[in-house]
């Protein structure tokens, strides 16, 4: 029997609903937990980041206009598709993170359950966060939550599938679009997860994923005027002040989700209404009272 040629996977950026190579043609090597070569991964450029932000901006308004029920359906579909990719992602988690099959299954289970969990929040967070406000004039005054817009997410190295899910799902359920910079050391899990999104009915451009040098990409993400909010979860505390100052120049909303340990990412601490609220704006409306 002839020996087969090893067919290595080609990883690509996920921008505007398509898998694309970096426009710069650059790539860098990623290794598994044992130090063996795993794959070459695109090293995104400033142009790639600008394309990703433009795609997110174009897609966000349409995504926000969808009904809460429809957004919930699509997030549930992500869970369905993630379930079908269980074997491939289990093997990749084991190889890249050096964890056991049972630990990989635990991370997959938690990720699938968390997408279902946020699908259920789609038609509920608005009722809990909105209000009718008492005023001293003959007017109705009420406050309603609206999506912030385009959210930049910097993902941590720890537990790359469940941490990505925990950061991405609350941004999406509330009608935002996202540009995620995947962890530089372990980016392939996120790019494989993009294959799940590609079959999940999620509109093109709502989620965009980049790989490459965090130090190269982050200054451009922080200063991009079309990025409305930043979650700097994957940025070390010593580096955050620099990017906070850059983002402040165009008044981007800043949020730092906790950079949890693996067990914490798997726990209920990494989910909830308080993970949705930071990426909402609250609009207060005054309306004349009918007589």
Averages of pLDDT over runs of 10 residues in the chain (291 residues) are: 81 98 96 96 98 98 98 98 97 97 98 98 94 82 92 97 98 98 97 97 98 96 97 94 94 92 97 97 83 52
- What per-residue confidence (pLDDT) applies to 248? 92
Instruction: Establish if 164 belongs to a structural domain.
Output: yes
CA dist 80 and 209 (Å) reads 20
Contact predicate 93/99, CB 8 Å: yes
Instruction: Establish if 162 belongs to a structural domain.
Output: yes
- What per-residue confidence (pLDDT) applies to 47? 97
The angle, 0 to 180 degrees and rounded to 10, between the axes of the packed helices 160-173 and 188-197 is: 40
Instruction: Establish if 4 belongs to a structural domain.
Output: no
CB atoms within 10 A of CB 34: 8
Q: 0.85 exceeded by the pTM?
A: yes
Total domains, the chain = 1
Q: Could you list the residue range(s) of the whole structural domain that residue 263 is in?
A: 13-24+38-288
- What per-residue confidence (pLDDT) applies to 287? 80
Instruction: Establish if 74 belongs to a structural domain.
Output: yes
CA dist 179 and 52 (Å) reads 6
Instruction: Establish if 33 belongs to a structural domain.
Output: no
- What per-residue confidence (pLDDT) applies to 290? 66
Instruction: Establish if 31 belongs to a structural domain.
Output: no
- What per-residue confidence (pLDDT) applies to 5? 79
CATH code at position 51: 3.40.605.10
Helix (H, G, I), strand (E, B) or coil at 191: helix
């Amino acid at each position: 029997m002839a020996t087969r040629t090893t067919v290595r996977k080609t990883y690509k950026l996920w921008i505007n609903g398509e898998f694309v190579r970096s426009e710069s043609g650059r790539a860098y090597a990623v290794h598994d937990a044992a130090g063996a070569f795993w794959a070459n991964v695109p090293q995104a450029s400033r142009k790639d980041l600008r394309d990703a932000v433009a795609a997110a901006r174009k897609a966000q308004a349409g995504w926000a206009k969808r009904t809460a029920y429809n957004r919930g359906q699509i997030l549930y579909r992500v869970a369905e598709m993630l379930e079908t990719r269980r074997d491939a992602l289990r093997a990749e988690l084991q190889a890249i993170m050096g964890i056991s099959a049972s630990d990989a299954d635990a991370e997959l289970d938690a990720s699938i359950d968390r997408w279902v969990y946020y699908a259920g929040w789609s038609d509920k967070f608005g009722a809990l966060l909105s209000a009718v406000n008492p005023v001293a004039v003959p007017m109705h005054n009420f406050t309603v939550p609206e999506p912030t817009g385009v959210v930049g997410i910097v993902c941590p190295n720890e537990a790359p599938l469940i941490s990505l899910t925990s950061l991405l799902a609350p941004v999406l359920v509330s009608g935002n679009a996202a540009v995620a910079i995947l962890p530089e050391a372990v980016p392939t899990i996120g790019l494989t997860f993009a294959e799940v999104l590609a079959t999940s009915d999620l509109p093109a451009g709502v989620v965009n994923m980049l790989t490459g040098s965090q130090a190269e990409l982050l200054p451009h993400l922080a200063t991009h005027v079309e990025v409305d909010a930043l979650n700097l979860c994957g940025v070390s505390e010593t580096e955050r002040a620099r990017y906070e100052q850059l983002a402040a120049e165009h008044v981007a909303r800043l949020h730092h989700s906790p950079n949890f340990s693996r067990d914490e990412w798997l726990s209920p601490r990494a989910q909830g209404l308080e993970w949705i609220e930071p990426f909402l704006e609250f609009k207060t409306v005054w309306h004349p009272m009918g007589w």
